[in-house]
Amino acid sequence: MEVLVRIVRMWEAPTFLKHDQTNSLEMVLVDEKGCKIHATIQKQLLYLIQAKLIEGKIYKMSFFSVAHSSGSYCTTLHLYKPVFPYEDKDPKL
């Protein structure tokens, strides 16, 4: 699945215990219909993606999973959010 979105806002979320370390990259996206969506990129993928993303630009996003947008940290009213998960390239069997 591919989704065309604009990055409205982007920020680094710190880890819970070490505020000087980044836990994830959080974004507010707007899709083609004008819906605002909160998206998360896990810290394991930051080195691949973060330098390529710029606020205000439009991107075609794919290869993500969808999770319920729940908890006390909700930036939009959308029920779901895309999460860009880490895929282990060297699995331990």
Distance CA 93, CA 74 (A): 37
Give residue-wise pLDDT tens across range 52-61. 899 999 998 8
Identify the helix (H) or strand (E) that includes residue 48: helix 46-49
pTM: predicted TM-score of the whole model, two decimal places:
0.70
- What's the angle, vertex CA 42, arms to CA 86 and CA 1, rounded to 5? 65
Straight-line distance from the first to the last Cα atom of the chain, in angstroms, rounded to the nearest whole number: 30
Give residue-wise pLDDT tens across range 2-35. 889 999 999 988 888 888 888 888 889 999 999 8
**CATH fold group of domain 3-84:** OB fold (Dihydrolipoamide Acetyltransferase, E2P) (2.40.50)
Extents of the domains making up the chain:
3-84
- Residue 44 has φ and ψ, to the nearest 5°, of -65, -20
